[in-house]
Chain A
Amino acid sequence: MVISRFDPPGGLTDLDETGLEQWSAFISAGVDAAIAGRTDHTNDAPRAQFYNLTKTDTAEDATSQDISWIAFPRQVKVSSVSDRQRWTRADSSRDLQDEYCEWSVTRRPDGKITRVTFTCEGPEYWQLLAQTQPDTLLELYQQHVDPAVQHGDLFDASGSYIPRNNRNSGTTNGAMHLIQAANTLSAEIELVAAASNVRLIDGRELTGEQELIDCGRYGAPQRNSDPHIGGVVNSIARLKADLALSNPVGLYIDDLSTAGWDTPNGSDAKSYWTYVRGDDGHPVRAVYEVPAELEFVVGDIVIDGNPIEFGAQIADFISIKAIAVACRFGQSTVAPMTACVGDIEGLAAAFSATQLRSRLI
């Protein structure tokens, strides 16, 4: 089956018909560019086992594969020497929250946490909303961040949307969508496509997640997410299958584990976890908050005996996921790449500049 168009992440219903068409076109173009591969690289193009769901049939033998990882940033974890140090660091800057999940913490005047909001919505969707439905964008900020948000808080004098606006750039004043530089849907599409190249180096098929990302040069090797996404995708490609990111293409909250959590009244700590955007199976935004009628707040809940003092403590228990779909198992005739990715001199800088330019403009 060929799908008629790509749906918005999480099946979100904010876009009008024009916006829906533009979104599908944006994703489709991104997929096509990723299939074509990077022309500034050697041994990288094309990515012939990666396909466009709107142009190529998904066969009857299709299976989907969730690929999940922990939301707490690995790079912060491995460079810290204690939990308190890493929680403090991860809560200090959205730029450190690089596992396709960012959060904002709300506290009472006494410092106790009352609410933590997590998002895994890519910035591209919000760029499109800003261009086609700026009023809708403002309403969403007012609904999910603060009713007091004004148009001027989000748009500059020329009317351009500011993704890193004051209500979406810190860790305490709201988190509407992802802003960390590597946390984009475009990055997700590119790395999945690049990872679909099977690598046979010196006669040995590469299978390890770290050696694959080193050889294929997709994503950031020091994250939880990118090597794992690439590793799983490559393991599917090694089954001689064709693969794609499942529709709707996006990054999703997989789950919150509350193993080891205790609440003051003995209630289920998971009951205070609410998905507020995205459909069933594809949540893109979640809030952890205790209802006001109860006589305790998030900061009174303990995890492994420690009160929740950081949003990052919750991030330790959140998993994020991408969803791949694969079909035509055993049928691919694409030959493995027999060398690792290299640069074509002089082209890398030009490609980077192209990548940074929004394809929505």
Chain B
Amino acid sequence: MAAESGRSQLAPSTVYRFVMGVDSEPTVMAQSQLDSLADPMGVLLRQGKFPLTVHDLLAEVDAAGMLPLQRSYLAGEAGQIPLTETGSLQRDLRFAVTRARAANADLLISTSAVGDPAAMFLQVMGWDETAGQFNYYMRLDHTWVWAGDSYSALAPESRGQGCFDSHVNGSLVMKEFKQPWLHWQSMNATILLAPDDPLRDNPLYQSLSGAEDFELTVRAGVSRWTAARLKHAVTPDGRVADLDRLLRQLCTTTTVNLASSVTASSAVVRSPATPLTLPLGLWLNVDSLLDDLGLPARFVPPSVPGQLYLDSLVRYDFALVEGEFRRPGDAFFAFVVPEAAFEDIEVVNQLVRRKMISAHFAASVLMVDFPNPVFSPARGKLLAYVPTAATLDPAGGVSQQVADVIVEAAGSLSADSPEAQFAANWRLADADWRDVFVDRIQNYMNAVTARIGTDQGFDDYVRLAESRRREFKSSRLNEFTLTLPVTNIPPDAPLLQLNEDGTIRQKPANQP
């Protein structure tokens, strides 16, 4: 590896730093910085412990007497493909391992579940309670490299670089975050292994927990980092630094989670008359609007006759493809789509809870182009009006200040501009805005429900979902070829968006 990359071999038992975008190559970490690493991994390294496999690392954690509670989890994009069909396919199974003192995990390990543990990737996140951040580490050659901390993910020079291409906002990552946790071993799916697979003898496999438990850990970890980040962002006199970095998680899609139906695609094949309920995240940001902001909208989750779904798989030639491997059909669970990421949702939730923005302000932004909960250029445009810093006022944090700028801009723009839509939302009286937004959501969902059972309507939604998957595939978060199915829709086909009347439209070509 070292020779291939053109760099020299790292010295063993030496802590290096290598923050992509900041450092041009690994350099030995200065003692003063090493002394500041207070997370569990940093503590081990400071004690001169350099475990080079996951089992050695866990043994060192045991020996240190810290973090006694261990959980392990398993994921793999090919994990549900029957072994009789995989042929030479690399199954690429991965462990996530957590260690905790109590409820919240302080050490998180990601490593390959196959191959030589001394040669396969080994990455670690450690929570530093004092600094209020995660530190990121990777084993390189025969030693450990500090790859940055949570704030490195936010800094322009290192944002999106190295490990922060997936840890986009400096937190934990679990792409398939909700039930049925596509690609994870869970209470909904068991990853298939041959009877003689050596993984069966691995203690981490023998003690596996389901993804339903890892979701809780990730949720808590994201919340913990978000809380620390927001606390750190406000000075004692109420000045908020990097406000634009915070509100980009309200206005834009910094990353996504992958949602799917809870129904296995094979189950639809067996029972085509059974309705297939599509993931709610396809339609709107339910978590922010209904859960966190508490809009009491009521509707029945839209579903489609299974046969329509099956017809669409044939029409668009759905398949899982990697190299020479091709398996016709959808992913293991039906109808996978990108949805609003929990790490964005949680920032908005905590901004509101800490009164840094008002619920009305957050809802006024989120209700702009709300049928497109991800990849919305309209909402993204509003970020341009957010200053880099502002001072909180007791009434609504920074809401009024930012809203005033947008409303002023709206005065010279058309009524359908994002600015004007926001202004209309913002002008609603405190006593009215919730009811108005609930009506709009319910009318929209009624329109979707009316269309989804028709051939044309469902076909539109199949193509919309594929369009959103293509947008996801263009991101660095798309690490594995088998994450999503492919179709015969050309990669350069126009991207699509949903309208509030349940119809779809082409996304303007010049809008990301």
Residues of A within 8 A of B (CB): 68-70, 74, 77-79, 81-85, 204-205, 207-211, 214-215, 221, 224, 227-228, 231-232, 235, 238-240, 257-261, 268-270, 304-305, 317, 319, 330
Could you show 8 A-B contacts with beta carbons less than 8 Å apart?
A74-B179, A78-B262, A204-B82, A211-B267, A211-B270, A224-B187, A257-B216, A257-B217
Question: Which of B103, B217, B350 is the most central at the interface, judged by chain A CB atoms within 10 Å of its CB?
Answer: B103
Sorted from nearest, which 5 A-B pairs have the closest CB atoms?
A260-B220, A259-B220, A82-B290, A210-B267, A258-B103
B195 contacts the other chain (CB 8 A): yes
A326 to chain B, nearest CB (A): 12
**Complex contacts, A269 vs chain B, CB 8 Å:** 103
Report the bound CA distance from A260 to B299 in whole Å: 29
Smallest CB-CB separation from A234: which chain B residue? B190
* Distance of A235 Cα from B80 Cα, bound (Å): 13
CA of A74 to CA of B286 in the docked complex: distance in angstroms?
18
Task: For the complex, count residues of B whose C-beta is within 8 A of A.
Answer: 46
- Cβ-defined contact, B210 with A68, below 8 A: yes
A330 near B195: Cβ-Cβ < 8 Å? yes
Other A-B pairs beyond A81-B297, A211-B270, A239-B195, 9, CB < 8 Å: A69-B210, A82-B291, A207-B190, A208-B80, A208-B266, A209-B188, A211-B267, A224-B187, A258-B102
Contact of A235 among B190, B213, B280 (CB under 8 A): B190
* A210 CA to B332 CA, complexed, in Å: 11
Partner of B267, one of A85, A205, A208: A208
Please tell me if the beta carbons of A81 and B286 are within 8 angstroms of each other in the complex: yes
**How near does chain B come to A74, taking the closest CB pair, in angstroms?**
7
Q: In the bound complex, what is the Cα–Cα distance between A310 and B187 (angstroms)?
A: 24
Chain A residues with CB under 8 Å of B103's CB are 257-261, 268-270
Select which of A83, A211, A231 is within 8 A of B291 by beta carbon: A83
Known: A268-B102, A305-B223, A305-B349. A81 touches B301 (CB 8 A): yes
Nearest chain A residue, comparing its CB with the CB of B193: A235
A260 lies within 8 A of B264 (CB) = no
Residues of the B chain whose Cβ atoms lie less than 8 Å from the Cβ of A304: 219-220, 223
Q: Quick check: is B381 within 8 A (CB to CB) of the other chain?
A: no
Q: How far is the CA of A257 from the CA of B214 in the complex (A)?
A: 10
**CA–CA, A81 and B179, complex, Å:** 14
Alpha-carbon separation in the docked complex, A82 to B104 (Å): 25
Given A81-B299, A205-B84, A259-B216, also A211-B266 (CB < 8 A): yes
A267 to B105, CA, bound (A): 17
Check: B192 CB closer than 8 A to any chain A CB. Answer: yes
Residues on the B chain within 8 Å of A260, using CB: 103-104, 216, 219-220, 223-224
Smallest CB separation, A68 vs chain B (Å): 7
In angstroms, how far is the closest chain A Cβ from the Cβ of B230?
Answer: 12
Shortest distance in angstroms between A331's beta carbon and chain B's nearest beta carbon?
Answer: 12
Q: How far is the CA of A214 from the CA of B274 in the complex (A)?
A: 12
Shortest distance between the CB of A144 and any CB in chain B (Å)? 27
Q: Which B residues are CB-close (under 8 A) to A231?
A: 189-190
Contact A228 B291 (CB under 8 A): no
**Known contacts A77-B179, A209-B264, A257-B213: does B270 contact A214 (CB below 8 Å)?**
yes
Q: Does B491 contact A (CB under 8 A)?
A: no
Q: Is B263 an interface residue (CB 8 A)?
A: yes
Known: A77-B179, A208-B332, A257-B216. A305 touches B353 (CB 8 A): yes
Q: Does B60 contact A (CB under 8 A)?
A: no
Q: Is A210 a contact of B263 with CB atoms below 8 Å?
A: yes
Residue of A at shortest CB range from B264? A210
| Bound complex: CA A224 to CA B296 (Å) | 27
Tell whether, in the assembled complex, residue B264 and residue A208 are in contact, meaning their CB atoms are under 8 Å apart.
Answer: yes
Contacting residues of chain B (195-223) with chain A, CB-CB under 8 angstroms = 195, 210, 212-213, 216-217, 219-220, 223
Cβ-defined contact, B187 with A270, below 8 A: no
Give Cα distance in the complex from A352 to B224, angstroms.
51
B55 CB–A CB distance under 8 Å: no
* Most B C-beta atoms less than 10 A away, residue of A215, A270, A305, A317: A305
- How far does the Cβ of B284 sit from chain A's closest Cβ, in whole Å? 10
Complex interface: chain B residues within 8 A of A270 (CB): 102-103
Chain B residue nearest to A204 (CB atoms) is B82
Q: Is the CB of A228 within 8 A of B266?
A: no
Complex Cα gap A270–B102 (Å) = 9
Query: Cβ of B267 and Cβ of A317 under 8 Å apart?
Result: no
CB–CB A205/B82 < 8 A: yes
Q: Tell me how far the C-beta of A168 lies from the nearest C-beta in chain B, rounded to whole angstroms.
A: 27
Is the C-beta of B443 less than 8 angstroms from some C-beta in chain A? no
Task: Quote the shortest CB–CB distance from B334 to chain A (angstroms).
Answer: 10
A232, A240, A268, A304: which has the most chain B beta carbons within 10 Å? A304
Residue B446 CB within 8 A of the other chain:
no
Distance A214 CA – B264 CA, assembled complex (angstroms): 11
